[in-house]
Amino acid sequence: MDGKRLSIEANIEVPEEAEGVLAHGADGIGLFRSEFLFIQPNRFPTEEEQLAAYTTVLTAMGRRAVTIRTLDLGGDKVMPGYHFAPDSNPLLGWRAIRFCLARPEVLKTQLRALLRASVHGSLRIMFPLISGQGELDRIAEIMAEVKGDLTREGRPFRADVPTGIMIEVPSAALTSDILAARADFFSIGTNDLIQYTLAVDRGNEKVAYLYEPFHPGVLRLIRMTIENAHARGIPVGLCGELAGDPLATVVLLGLGLDSFSMGPIGIPLIKRIVRSVGSMEAEAFVRSLTPMKSGLEIEHAVRGWMEDRLDFSSW
Ligand code: PEP
Ligand code: MG
């Protein structure tokens, strides 16, 4: 990629993975799913346990950015022994930030551990499943409270830790101009964004044929999110499976994405593609997709471009 500074980062789920991601060439960690810490029967991890885990990751990554997502429980992520109220539709129910805001002591403990760990590296904190500004207001109150407590206790932390939000709900993408004023960065979670935009349960094989990352409705939301973020001067990453799909790379580059985060194994290939595609070329290609009417038509065009433009036989 010419000129533009792009970052290709790793998704991890346990702290021990952090060491290995450097060997795969990761520029940082774009998504640390903190849920693993909470997957233990009948209790939540203490502040000290969380502090140790976050410190391990930050220390391993040195000056590279580490984006840690606050607890994303519920929906498709269930914890043994923890009994959620039986939502009739868990994917639309009490999950992720909704759960944390209803149980603020859980969020406060996690934020205390994160802020205390922040002195060990380059931390960014990210909130999942944001659907609108009201949640950000509540998060800001809790964050201010936690920072006040740590200051009073004389515990060191970095006061300027960037906080960002995941764009996973269509309403967040559609109001990304509003939300961009309240975030230091966006990260598009396409696994959920596609699911909610197309009303397709991402784990249900019967409707898997409708789960189309290149659906014009999905691409419009991604475009809107990136444009609104850039208009406010904040960067946008993408940390869903789509980031590691070689077919999507040129499209995401052409839409102006700033960073990709994926399973570490996918990094070398995506880096090679990124290096071999010019930004003007990617933008022009994406413009050529605009009149297309279906995900299938767009996917077909992308495959054709990849075959013409990138000779994988020599890779
Ligand atoms: C996403 O939704 O794209 C995402 C990265 O979050 P998760 O897969 O953990 O829901
Ligand atoms: Mg998600």
Q: What confidence score (pLDDT) does residue 314 get? A: 58
**Contact at 8 Å (CB) between 29 and 21?**
yes
Q: Is 67 in the pocket of ligand 1 (CB under 6 A)?
A: no
Q: Is 33 in the pocket of ligand 1 (CB under 6 A)?
A: yes
- Tell me the best of 239, 241, 261 to mutate to test the pocket of ligand 1, counting ligand atoms within 8 Å of each CB and taking the most: 239
Architecture of the domain spanning 7-314: Alpha-Beta Barrel (3.20)
Residue 195 CA to ligand 2 center (angstroms) comes to 9
- Kindly state the average pLDDT of the residues 48-64: 97
Q: Which ligand is nearest to the CA of 69?
A: 1
The CA-to-CA distance between both ends of the chain, in Å, stands at 18
Residue 214 CB partners (closer than 8 Å, separation 6+): 248, 251, 295, 296, 298, 299, 302
Q: Is 27 in the pocket of ligand 1 (CB under 6 A)?
A: no
**Per-state percent for the chain, helix, strand, coil, to nearest 5:** 55, 15, 35
Q: Tell me the pLDDT tens digit for each residue of 103-136.
A: 999 999 999 999 999 999 999 999 999 999 999 9
Does 219 score more than 70 pLDDT? yes
Q: Tell me the pLDDT tens digit for each residue of 151-189.
A: 999 999 999 999 999 999 999 999 999 999 999 999 999
- Nearest atom (ligand 1) to Cα of 192: 2
Near ion ligand 2, which residues have CB within 5 Å? 168, 189, 192
Residue nearest ligand 1's atom 4 by CA: 189
Residue 232 CA to ligand 1 center (angstroms) comes to 24
Q: Is 77 in the pocket of ligand 1 (CB under 6 A)?
A: no
Interatomic CA distance for residues 63 and 46, integer angstroms: 26
Interatomic CA distance for residues 59 and 54, integer angstroms: 9
> How far is C-alpha 190 from the chain's CA centre?
8
Interatomic CA distance for residues 142 and 176, integer angstroms: 22
- Nearest atom (ligand 1) to Cα of 75: 10
At residue 199's C-alpha, the angle toward residues 195 and 203, to 5°, is: 50
Interatomic CA distance for residues 78 and 41, integer angstroms: 11
pTM of the model: 0.96
Residue nearest ligand 1's atom 1 by CA: 189
Spell out the domain ranges in the chain: 7-314
Does 83 score more than 60 pLDDT? no
Q: Is 35 in the pocket of ligand 1 (CB under 6 A)?
A: no
Residue 291 CA to ligand 2 center (angstroms) comes to 29
Q: Which ligand is nearest to the CA of 11?
A: 1
- Nearest atom (ligand 1) to Cα of 168: 2
Does 192 score more than 90 pLDDT? yes
**Contact at 8 Å (CB) between 24 and 264?**
yes
- Nearest atom (ligand 1) to Cα of 31: 5
Residue 202 CA to ligand 2 center (angstroms) comes to 10
- Kindly state the average pLDDT of the residues 133-142: 98
Q: Which ligand is nearest to the CA of 33?
A: 1
Instruction: Kindly write down the DSSP assignment for every residue of 95-157, as one continuous string.
Output: -HHHHHHHSHHHHHHHHHHHHHHGGGSEEEEEESS--SHHHHHHHHHHHHHHHHHHHHHT---
